[in-house]
Every structure is written in C-alpha cells, then in structure tokens.
Amino acid sequence: MSSLFTRIFIVSADNLIEINNVSFAYGSRAILKGINLVAPRGKVIAIMGGSGSGKTTLLRLIGGQLRPTHGEVRVDGQVIHQLSNDALYKIRRKMGMLFQFGALFTDMSVFDNVAFQMREHTDLSEELIHDLVLMKLHAVGLRGAHDLMPYELSGGMARRVALARAVALDPQLIMYDEPFTGLDPISLDVIGNLIRRMTDALGLTSILVTHDIHKSLNIADYVYFISDGMVEAEGTPDEIRASTLPFVHQFIHAEENGPVPFHYPAPDYAVDLGVAR
C-alpha cells in the first residue's frame, strides 16, 4: 500500500525515527518479526493493531528500555541500543511519554507533576519554572487547576496534565501509549486535537499507539497496522480507509469474523470437555 509514500519516508534525511528490519523476542516467544517503520519530524504516526501485536514493545525499543534481537532502531541518527548509559539518558531528555492512564505522581500537585522534570534535569530558577509550568498547563487548558491533586481530576483532565508534563522539556519526540483509553467522547476529542495541535505548534514528532480508529485517522499523517509482529499494512489515512485488505477491513469496521480470530488456538472443544472418543 502506497509504496511511493514509503520510499519517500525511507530516503528522507528528515526522519527522526528509523526502525530497520527489527525483530524482538522474549526468550523463544517472538514479538516482532522484521519491522520496518519511519517517523518523519513534525508528523503524527499512528501504530495500530490488536492486543499483543507488539505495539508497546516498539515504544520500549525506541526509548531504549529493550534491545532488539535483530536490526536497528535509530533516533535522531543514533542507534539507540548501541549508546552508552550517559548517551542514552541524554537522548531520552529529548523524548516525552504519555502513558495509558497518565501515570501522574499521586502525592504531587498538578503544578509539581509538570515541574518535576524541569527540577530534575535543568538548573532553571523556581521563578522561571513557575512561568514555564503555567505556560504548559495553559496550552492544555488547565492553568486554573495547577493547585489540584491528581485524585481531584477527571480522567480527561489527568491525561491533559500528563500531556503538559510530557512536553515540559520541549522534546523532539512524544510517544503516546493508548492515550484515548477510558475517556468519554468529549475528553477523547480534546486529547486527540491537543496531540495534533501540539505536534504542529512545537514541531514535534508524535508516535501514537492506539485502538481508536476514528480519532487516529483524523489526526495522523501516516498509519502502520501491525499483526503477528509484522507490518500488515501502511499508508495515509485516506489509503487506510479505502483499503480492501481483509485485516485492515476487519479492524476498521470492528468485525468479529476475519483474519483475526475471536478464539485463541485450542484443541477441539469436545476433547477439552472429555466427551470426544
């Protein structure tokens, strides 16, 4: 699908992320099997696929928490798994992460959650940190909530605070692990639009792991579908919507019957019940 678009991405010198023929396994259990994926600077890249297909594993490989069994993961031209600890920590400061349920520090206020990285990784004065935190919170519409504690926030508000924290150090890359999970339709729309607007306004590269088809296709520049550890399909949102590939069609239309089975592989039911001869 859209091989021309893919070639343009691969040959461009402006890719922030390049994943080349990457495989990964936990012991003998293969998770990724020769993945190729690129993320150009300033774009929103959506990675979709069923649960257990390896999407979050890709984020961990990009962040350097895991090392590939085979292949290369490059971030800003550097092979992540070949870096020293000091170099890895340095490049991680250019990354932001929005976890599935926000993962705010529960014993810190909204203000202190956003200020945390600034205090840990910079020598900025408290006066400057104060102004920067309020600026980040204003960008996500929550400047007035800076004194609240996480337990006082709704799910959508907590996700927005987590987004403000993710951009606290003006990263080049933000990775989103299921940012829409558990949100009501209004909050979901707000978070999705914030991801798009902040990517454009700050020149970020955003990698979005998600199951939400509708919102992701509305905000993404390019989409990768992963199945069984491989890229099953890729293309622009319009190309994905028009795809006739059975896997993509089943996923987009949420159909029970298709290449992705409902039942996990198992022996014949009658055998398990002990009634077969």
Residue 106 has pLDDT above 50, yes or no: yes
Mean pLDDT of 103-116: 90
Q: What is the pLDDT of residue 8?
A: 41
pLDDT digits (tens, 9 = 90+) for 120-154: 888 899 999 999 999 889 988 889 989 999 999 98
Residue 213 has pLDDT above 90, yes or no: no
Mean pLDDT of 193-208: 89
Secondary structure letter of residue 148 according to DSSP: -
Burial of 215 per CB tally in 10 Å (0-12, 13-18, 19+): buried
CA proximity to 175, closest of 19, 60, 49, 40: 60
Lowest mean pLDDT among 52-56, 170-174, 240-244, 263-267: 263-267
What kind of fold does domain 3-273 have according to CATH? Rossmann fold (3.40.50)
Residue 89 contacts by C-beta under 8 Å, 6 or more apart in sequence? none
For tokens 């021309």, what's the residue? 4
**Can you tell me the distance from the alpha carbon of 166 to that of 145, in angstroms, rounded to the nearest whole number?**
17
Mean pLDDT in the chain? Answer: 84
Residue 101 has pLDDT above 80, yes or no: no
Q: What is the pLDDT of residue 248?
A: 77
Comparison of pLDDT for 267 and 78, the residue scoring more: 78
Q: What is the pLDDT of residue 262?
A: 60
Residue 1 has pLDDT above 60, yes or no: no
pLDDT digits (tens, 9 = 90+) for 152-176: 998 888 888 988 888 888 888 999 8
DSSP count for the chain of H helices, then E strands: 11, 10
Q: What is the pLDDT of residue 180?
A: 82
Q: What is the pLDDT of residue 179?
A: 82
Residue 85 has pLDDT above 80, yes or no: yes
Residue 179 contacts by C-beta under 8 Å, 6 or more apart in sequence? 98, 100, 159, 163, 191, 195, 208, 210
Mean pLDDT of 245-271: 70
Q: What is the pLDDT of residue 253?
A: 67
CA atoms within 13 A on the CB side of 145: 24
The verdict on pTM exceeding 0.95 is no
φ/ψ of residue 151, rounded to 5: -70, -10
Q: What is the pLDDT of residue 240?
A: 86
Q: What is the pLDDT of residue 260?
A: 65
Secondary structure letter of residue 151 according to DSSP: G
Q: What is the pLDDT of residue 7?
A: 39
Mean pLDDT of 173-186: 84
Mean pLDDT of 66-90: 91
